[in-house]
């Protein structure tokens, strides 16, 4: 792509290796703390020290179409005073990534999410509550025996495995700023609900969390409310739920009682035998839709709740930004070792948060909402231009340069359009039979 190539060519003019570039968003203390987690710390003066490799991992997320060793060369990822450029071997880059490991990247991502995901911006609340969403996504990995054994894959009805191993991601996202607050990644066979349990405590007080129906469960939902103050949830109805009406608030608004399953109570004996939830129904194009919530009827109307649940789609847009805008719809991740796969995905999430944070600050400067920024257009612009500006003058003038950067994205805001009314198309399903690519064409 000519635009991406022009961004990469900036590496010929500027030294991108100075990590002070990110001190506006990522304090240097965070970087130092993260690097202490590396399993293979060393005092040897290497051509690719850990701090530069950390920056390389971020560069991999920005420049997905470039080979890793080319990203290292372009960004001049090399210790000062040591030879680089064409002398940097491909194997040396891989070994440097192995020495760094995935823990420092994961720790840095968690720091950014926990700090930035709770930030409040003017007009980003819903009736005094911050809005979050929880959902899952899948990533494919290259098909090697090691990766297939570790990550696993889905099976067809004939027990044939899917073409690529898959890893599972479950994330908690601030739907107004689109920053990922926390996430869990694991092999394919792990349950989304169990992964979500690991970060429920990160949901701030005075908030409402939107769930996909796959997260339905008394234990998970009750924990959302019990683990904090004024924390609420909203989730769509599951089929074949048996409930008893206790109180009618309106035509499509009522309080119902449901039995907690024996399996759930066995896992958590503290769960009650029955639990009460509010049921709200509203009209959609093809009928009625029902959601359940802990939001009290005295404060939040059924109409407001129906409108709020539409925002759950925002986390899907966040996943799209990562897979499409950052990964360029690549079929698989690029790494071929288990530890490097985890490192690559944590690097994706960390880089995504850095871009989203800067986009949010730019939106606020224009008195707009962070979710109105065009991520696809801003992704390369912010990530690379911010680096260039800081590298060109890392000591002084940063505030002025950031102001110029944000003024440059003033035309990159989304114009909100109504949701599409045409039905979603169904992709061609995978065949269970081998495809004969040499077969003669149909006449």
Residue written as tokens 């405590």?
Answer: 201
**3-state secondary structure at position 250:** strand
- Beta partners for residue 137, in sequence order: 169
Report the percentage of the chain scoring pLDDT > 70: 68
CA 252 from chain centre, in angstroms, equals 34
Alpha-carbon distance 210 to 48, whole Å? 43
Higher pLDDT, 277 or 355: 277
Tens of pLDDT, residues 392-441: 543 333 344 445 545 555 555 555 555 555 555 555 455 555 545 454 55
Model-wide pTM > 0.95: no
Mean of the per-residue pLDDT values of the chain: 77
Label residue 228 by pLDDT band (50, 70, 90): confident
Lowest mean pLDDT across 216-230, 267-281, 370-384: 370-384
The tokens for 317 are 């847009």
**3-state secondary structure at position 243:** coil
For residue 73, pLDDT beyond 50: yes
Alpha-carbon distance 411 to 413, whole Å? 6
Which pLDDT score, from 0 to 100, does residue 65 have? 84
For residue 21, pLDDT beyond 60: no
Higher pLDDT, 115 or 46: 115
* Main-chain phi, psi angles of 407, to 5 degrees: -70, -25
Tens of pLDDT, residues 77-114: 654 433 344 446 677 788 888 888 888 889 989 998 99
Tens of pLDDT, residues 176-212: 889 999 999 999 989 999 999 999 999 999 999 999 9
């Amino acid at each position: 792509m000519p635009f991406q190539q022009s961004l990469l060519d900036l590496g010929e003019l500027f030294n991108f290796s100075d990590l002070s570039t990110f001190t506006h968003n990522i304090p240097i203390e965070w970087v130092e703390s993260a690097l202490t987690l590396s399993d293979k710390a060393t005092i040897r003066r290497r051509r690719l020290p850990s701090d530069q490799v950390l920056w390389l991992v971020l560069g991999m997320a920005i420049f997905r179409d470039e080979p890793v060793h080319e990203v290292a060369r372009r960004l001049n990822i090399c210790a000062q005073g040591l030879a680089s450029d064409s002398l940097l071997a491909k194997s040396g880059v891989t070994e440097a990534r192995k020495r760094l490991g995935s823990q420092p990247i994961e720790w840095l991502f968690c720091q950014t999410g926990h700090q930035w995901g709770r930030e409040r911006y003017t007009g980003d609340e819903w009736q005094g509550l911050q809005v979050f969403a929880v959902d899952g996504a899948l990533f494919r990995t290259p098909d090697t025996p090691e990766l297939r054994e570790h990550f696993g894959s889905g099976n067809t009805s004939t027990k044939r495995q899917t073409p690529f191993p898959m890893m599972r991601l479950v994330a908690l996202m601030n739907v107004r700023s689109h920053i990922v607050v926390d996430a869990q990644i694991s092999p394919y066979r792990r349950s989304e609900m169990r992964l979500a349990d690991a970060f429920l405590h990160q949901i701030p007080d005075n908030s409402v969390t939107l769930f996909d129906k796959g997260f339905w469960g008394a234990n998970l939902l009750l924990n959302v409310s019990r683990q904090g103050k004024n924390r609420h949830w909203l989730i769509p109805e599951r089929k074949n739920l048996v409930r008893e009406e206790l109180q009618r608030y309106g035509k499509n608004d009522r309080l119902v009682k449901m039995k907690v399953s024996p399996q759930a109570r066995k896992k958590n004996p503290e769960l009650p035998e029955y639990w009460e939830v509010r049921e709200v129904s509203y009209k959609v194009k093809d009928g009625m839709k029902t959601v359940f919530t802990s939001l009290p009827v005295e404060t939040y109307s059924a109409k407001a709740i129906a409108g709020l649940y539409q925002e759950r789609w925002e986390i899907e847009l966040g996943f799209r930004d990562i897979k499409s805008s950052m990964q360029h719809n690549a079929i698989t991740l690029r790494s071929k070792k288990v530890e490097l796969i985890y490192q690559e995905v944590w690097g994706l999430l960390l880089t995504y948060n850095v871009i989203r944070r800067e986009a949010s600050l730019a939106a606020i400067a224009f008195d707009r909402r962070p979710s109105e920024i065009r991520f696809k257009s801003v992704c390369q612009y912010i990530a690379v231009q911010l680096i260039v500006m800081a590298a060109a003058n890392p000591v002084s003038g940063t505030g002025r340069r950031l102001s110029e950067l944000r003024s440059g994205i003033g035309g990159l805001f989304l114009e909100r359009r109504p949701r599409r009314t045409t039905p979603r198309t169904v992709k061609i399903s995978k065949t269970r039979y081998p495809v004969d690519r040499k077969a003669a064409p149909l006449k």
